[in-house]
Structure 1
Amino acid sequence: MSSVEMQMDAYLSRIGFSRSPSRSLHVLQTVHTCHLLSVPFENLTVHSGGQVKLDLPHLYEKIVLQRRGGFCFENNSLFAWLLTQMGFQVTLLSAQVRNQPTGYYGPPFDHLILMVSLDGQRWLCDVGFGVPGFRTPLSLDTSGPQEQGHRVYRIREQRNDAAGMHFLEWQQDEIRGADGEWTEIYKFTLDPRRMEDYAEMCQYHQSSPCSLFFCKSLCTMLTPGGRLTYIGRRLTTTTFPTEGTALETSTRELQDDEIPGVLKEKFGIVLKSPLVPKDEPMTPLRVVY
């Protein structure tokens, strides 16, 4: 894979971005959204006999040339390379995802996210997350609400030390407003990281019964009006609410022999090896972070 020639133009074409790749906030916002609409968040390599590798030429081959997706370490690290090639200043950050049923956070380096510094402002980028993910970059320079369609996000800073811990939170449509309930998604600091720092957790997510990615075969992607999500033997279609309409979801049960066709038709994914569908409960972590 090291002989693969990585080309920015091919990557931009893969995500459907056809404009001039200038260094501006509008371009950053657009490529972020284009990525989410084109590249699935998925872990199907883990469930089709493969191993996730984090060297950039391999990821370029997989995501750009084979038109696959990946989980956070894959999608966000390759997206960081793209943004750097476009002239953006990018910093890798470590986040810990909150398990919604238990309320506990994952280990350090559980999730890879990006900070982009542009014209004196800082932006949080994340094209490697699932259902709660945001469509366009979020400002790291405000603690106020940031509205994106039917969702509202905020980044709350808690200063326990010099670095400070930041919490990404959201309000879903039914709990929005000044008195609405905020739910934590993940927490992170602004300490710069390197790709080598994520190697141990990348292996953990492929082998631990405490990891969502080991316990469930999944693939999800943003659509212009909602989201498509495959897990195990189910396909869920979500339509986001608009003015005068409510959030709608429908779930279709799948037979094993239907799954390859669904992955190809809905997500553009063709696997080289047979997929073993999986949807098992996660083992709760014994350590609280």
Structure 2
Amino acid sequence: MDVKTYLTRIGYSGPAEPTLDVLRSVHLHHQLSVPFENLTVHSGGRVQLDLRLFYEKIVIQRRGGFCYETNGLFSWMLRKLGFQVTLLSGQVKCLKTGFYWPPFDHLILLVTLDGKRWLCDGGFGSQGYSSPLSLDTSDPQKQGHKMYRIREEEGMHFVEWQQEEIREPDGDWETIYKFTLKPRCLEDFAEMCEYHQSSPCSILFCKSLCTVLKPGGRLTFIGHRLTSTTFPTETHGIKTSTREVKDEEIPQVLAEGFGIVLKSPLIPKDERMTPLTEMY
């Protein structure tokens, strides 16, 4: 881990010290620079839980990754900056069935700073929050056009949001994922990392995808579809445009839109996921 090289990779040039301002800034820079993507799975490779491999892929090769990779590496960098970081296990809610995926489905980070607790997540995609969420309040936390809150119930915490438009605190809330505060280690996620690369119930197996936060919007590539989203403002609503991408266009789309150059050809995939049948 070369912290300076890592910070250069995410376009951050500010102070490198354990303060809340630095935490917020590197969290945002990470999301603006490191795509959430599973292209290794769909270009003949396999993701292994190894911090050195994460560093080589994300920092040196300027790739992205899914939560185990991006948040695993992000936690390493935060520790190098002097932050107190704890790995947590999250369970994402399936929108179609209302069930949650099994424990260790999602890797998230708890940062404790000056007696305050902050939830960080640099690897979730379109529903993700761009700035750390406070774990010390259940009040709504507004981030641009999005509203989030963390609700606690019988020792379980629930991250909730109010979709992709400007909302009010008393609006309808939807759960994104749930988690406990039990400390975990990276090896705990090995079984679910394999699951997500091989199960027809996992979006990461069923769809080749890549998405990255942009200033004022988001760019997403799934299968053969490239979608550009402009976030809503006080004067206009959310805007989206989608186009079909031909096989021969994929390398250029990945390079220009996401800064990604694959070593092996991508096999685009966009299949229907098998619904979860077990309740967690």
TM range (shorter): over 0.9
Query: Which residue of the partner structure matches residue 71 of structure 2?
Result: 76
Query: Which residue of the partner structure matches residue 223 of structure 2?
Result: 232
Identical amino acids, percent of aligned pairs = 68
Q: Distance in 2 between matches of 1:247 and 1:39?
A: 23
Deviations 1:213-257 (A, max 9, x none): 000000000001100000000000000011211110000111111
Query: Which residue of the partner structure matches residue 3 of structure 1?
Result: none
Query: Which residue of the partner structure matches residue 274 of structure 1?
Result: 265
Q: Distance in 2 between matches of 1:46 and 1:178?
A: 39
Query: Which residue of the partner structure matches residue 58 of structure 2?
Result: 63
1:158-177 equivalences under 5 Å are 158-159=153-154, 164-174=155-165, 176-177=167-168
1:202 pairs with 2:193 = yes
Query: Which residue of the partner structure matches residue 125 of structure 2?
Result: 130
281 and 173 in structure 1: CA distance in 2 versus 1, 3 angstrom threshold: closer
Q: Which runs of 5+ in 1 are unaligned?
A: 1-5
Q: Distance in 2 between matches of 1:198 and 1:83?
A: 20
Read off the aligned partner of 2:90 and give its amino acid letter.
A
The answer as to whether partners of 1:41 and 1:221 remain within 8 angstroms in 2 is yes
The answer as to whether partners of 1:175 and 1:181 remain within 8 angstroms in 2 is no
Read off the aligned partner of 2:130 and give its amino acid letter.
R
- Which residue among 76, 80, 86 is the counterpart of 2:81? 86
Query: Which residue of the partner structure matches residue 106 of structure 1?
Result: 101
**3-state SS, counterpart of residue 158 of structure 2:** strand
Q: Distance in 2 between matches of 1:228 and 1:174?
A: 17
Q: Distance in 1 between matches of 2:244 and 2:82?
A: 45
1:287 Cα offset (Å): 1.0
Query: Which residue of the partner structure matches residue 238 of structure 2?
Result: 247
Q: Distance in 1 between matches of 2:99 and 2:135?
A: 24
173 and 45 in structure 1: CA distance in 2 versus 1, 3 angstrom threshold: closer
TM-score by length of structure 1 reads 0.95
Query: Which residue of the partner structure matches residue 15 of structure 1?
Result: 10
Query: Which residue of the partner structure matches residue 150 of structure 1?
Result: 145
Q: Distance in 2 between matches of 1:22 and 1:92?
A: 20
Q: Distance in 2 between matches of 1:73 and 1:287?
A: 23
Q: Which runs of 5+ in 2 are unaligned?
A: none
Read off the aligned partner of 1:65 and give its amino acid letter.
I
What value does the CA root-mean-square deviation take over the aligned residues? 0.9
**3-state SS, counterpart of residue 250 of structure 2:** helix
**3-state SS, counterpart of residue 197 of structure 2:** helix
TM-score by length of structure 2 reads 0.98
Structure 1 consecutive aligned stretches of length 4 or more whose deviation exceeds 6 Å: none
Q: Distance in 2 between matches of 1:143 and 1:84?
A: 27
Deviations 1:1-28 (A, max 9, x none): xxxxx21110000001111201100000
The answer as to whether partners of 1:150 and 1:172 remain within 8 angstroms in 2 is no
